[in-house]
Every structure is written in structure tokens, then in C-alpha cells.
């Protein structure tokens, strides 16, 4: 111990390392800097995923084109002509750029989801912060599951929409229109698959309780059935139930995790908060007011 150091003094902070902020409170400038840092890391992750997609563009486009080719073979057997076409000079480059950016966003989903979560919930405890990693990486396979369901439903959707083409009429579809339709459908179902993860994240952040979500079970059922109806445009109820089963299972699992987390938190509450429902406000602390507090202080005492 050197002469300048006193007994019991805190150890010197390492150079270049910022002090920790256990409360998560930041000024407006600090919020802007944090947003800039998280956004930069998310963009770099998407660019890295897009670079990988650029290398395997031909294989990726064949996968996107496969549902359309399956419908084309059936249309040719019925004497109809349906084909994809590129009309502009730069459309081929624009098409490849759109594909690689979307695929890059999907591949880098664990990165930008985690960056988003860290920006929205900076005040988490150490244990809850570890859950951010789990949620970010679990959202990616769930998103891919929803996109895979939409991909499998694509031939049925195309048969319904392209079935209105009259005989002896060639249906020439712009490839950009087909790509937009495919990506929007896959994105729609992918987001629907990660909604349960978002519910759980909000629950661990203390913004949504499992009991409050369970009270809205009617709207949840309507939402799941809507997804299933879009996935199976045919009037067969069996196919609609098969499409609704994975979404309903994910939602039920999310509500179960939320209820378990609510029960864990309730055991840590004080006794006066244990009997309150989710809609009741917590009791306000009792503040004692003394007689001298009712009289104004002289101006000299305020300086």
C-alpha cells in the first residue's frame, strides 16, 4: 500500500472504463448516444448478413421462386400461361438488392433484436439482463418458423389468386411484385410468431402482467384464427386449425411463462402489496406533517 492510499478507500477505477449506472437513469444526451451506438451495431449486423446473402443469392432466389414454379406447372396442364418477367433495365439489380437486404435482416435478427432490447430496457437487473440474450436468440427461430409456415402456404395462396386468370390469357407477373407479395406475407407471419416473445419481454420489464393478457383471451383467439385464415384461404376448417395450432401453442407457452414470473415477483413483494390485484394501486406512503411546516420560512433562511 502506498503512502497516498488510505485504508478502506475504494479501489481505483480502470482507465477507459465508464462507471456503472445501476439505476439505468440517463440524460437526453446520453439517450441519444446510446441510441446511436445501438443503431450502428444493428446496421453493421444487417450489412454482414446481407453480404452473406449476396454470395448465396442464386440459391436464395431459387427458394423464393419454388412456390411459383409449382403453380406454373399446374397452370400449364390447364392450358394457362403464367410467367415471371423483368421489365426494366435496372430491375434485376434492384431485385437482388432487395432480396439480400431482407435476408440479411433475417440472418442478423439476434443482433438487432438484442440491441433494441438493451435500448428499451436499460434499467434491468443483472439476472433479468441475462434473459435479454435468451429472448433475442429465441426470437430468431420463432420468426423463421412463422416465415416457414407462410412459405408452405404460398402455393395455396397463389393457386387461389392466379386461378381467376381467364383461359387463353397470359398472366405476366413482374418479379418485383411477386417478391413484394412473398416477403410481405413471410414478414407478416414472422412477426406474428415473435409476438409471444415480445409479450414475455414486456412482462419481465414489468410493463405487462400475465393475468392482464389472459383477460384478453377472446382477442387473442381472434388474432390466431385470423393468421390461420390468411394462411389457408381454402374453406377447409381442418387446414385452418392445423395452421392455428403452432401460433396458439406459442401464445399459451408465453402466457404460462408470464404467470410464473408474476408469481415469482409476488413472493418478493411486501405483505401490504401481496393482496392487491393488477388493477389496484399500491398504497401511498404516510407522510407526517408538522406544524412548523405549515408556516413559510423567512427569506433569510432560504439563502
Q: Dihedral sign, CA of 261, 264, 268, 273? A: positive
Lowest mean pLDDT among 7-16, 40-49, 74-83, 240-249: 7-16
Residue 58 to residue 100: CA distance in whole angstroms: 11
CB 18 within 8 A of CB 77: no
Residue 120 to residue 254: CA distance in whole angstroms: 20
* Cβ atoms < 10 Å from Cβ of 268: 8
> Phi then psi for 81, rounded to 5 degrees?
-115, 115
* Cβ atoms < 10 Å from Cβ of 267: 7
Residue 261 to residue 283: CA distance in whole angstroms: 23
Nearest Cα neighbor of 98 from 140, 53, 141, 62 is 53
Residue 232 half-sphere exposure, CB side, CA atoms within 13 Å? 16
Q: Report the chain's mean pLDDT, rounded to a whole number.
A: 75
Residue 95: what pLDDT?
86
In the predicted model, is pLDDT for residue 117 greater than 80?
no
What cell numbers appear for 180 in the block? 413484394
Q: Dihedral sign, CA of 296, 297, 299, 303? A: negative
Residue 52: what pLDDT?
93
**In terms of pLDDT, which residue wins out, 50 or 224?**
50
Q: Measure Cα distances from 50 to 54, 66, 136 in Å.
A: 6, 21, 19
Q: Measure Cα distances from 36 to 31, 42, 48, 161 in Å.
A: 9, 10, 18, 44
Residue 197: what pLDDT?
81
Enumerate residues 6+ apart whose C-beta is below 8 A from 53: 60, 99, 100, 103, 104, 107
Residue 286: what pLDDT?
47
Residue 16: what pLDDT?
47
Instruction: Give this prediction's pTM.
Output: 0.59
CB 155 within 8 A of CB 71: yes
Amino acid at each position: 500500500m502506498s503512502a497516498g492510499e488510505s485504508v478502506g478507500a475504494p479501489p481505483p477505477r480502470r482507465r477507459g472504463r465508464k462507471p456503472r449506472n445501476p439505476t439505468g437513469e440517463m440524460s437526453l444526451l446520453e439517450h441519444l448516444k446510446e441510441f446511436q451506438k445501438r443503431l450502428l451495431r444493428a446496421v453493421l449486423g444487417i450489412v454482414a448478413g446481407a453480404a452473406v446473402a449476396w454470395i448465396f443469392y442464386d440459391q436464395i432466389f431459387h427458394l423464393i421462386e419454388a412456390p411459383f414454379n409449382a403453380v406454373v406447372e399446374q397452370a400449364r396442364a390447364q392450358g394457362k400461361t403464367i410467367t415471371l418477367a423483368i421489365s426494366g433495365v435496372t430491375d434485376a439489380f434492384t431485385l437482388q438488392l432487395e432480396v439480400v437486404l431482407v435476408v440479411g435482416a433475417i440472418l442478423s435478427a439476434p443482433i438487432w433484436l438484442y440491441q433494441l432490447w438493451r435500448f428499451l430496457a436499460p434499467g434491468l437487473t443483472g439476472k433479468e439482463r441475462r434473459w435479454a440474450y435468451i429472448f433475442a436468440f429465441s426470437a430468431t427461430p420463432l420468426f423463421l418458423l412463422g416465415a416457414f409456415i407462410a412459405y408452405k402456404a404460398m402455393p395455396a395462396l397463389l393457386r387461389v389468386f392466379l386461378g381467376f386468370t381467364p383461359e387463353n390469357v397470359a398472366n405476366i407477373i413482374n418479379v418485383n411484385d411477386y417478391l413484394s407479395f412473398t416477403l410481405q406475407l413471410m414478414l407478416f407471419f414472422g412477426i406474428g410468431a415473435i409476438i409471444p416473445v415480445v409479450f414475455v419481454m414486456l412482462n419481465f420489464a414489468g410493463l405487462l402482467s400475465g393475468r392482464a393478457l389472459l383477460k384478453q383471451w377472446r382477442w387473442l383467439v381472434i388474432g390466431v384464427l385470423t393468421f390461420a385464415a390468411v394462411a389457408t384461404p381454402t374453406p377447409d376448417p381442418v387446414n385452418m386449425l392445423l395452421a392455428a395450432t403452432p401460433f396458439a401453442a406459442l401464445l399459451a407457452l408465453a402466457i404460462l411463462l408470464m404467470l410464473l414470473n408474476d408469481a415469482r415477483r409476488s413472493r418478493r413483494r411486501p405483505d401490504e402489496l401481496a393482496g392487491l390485484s393488477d388493477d389496484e394501486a399500491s398504497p401511498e406512503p404516510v407522510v407526517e406533517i408538522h406544524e412548523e411546516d405549515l408556516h413559510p420560512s423567512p427569506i433569510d433562511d432560504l439563502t
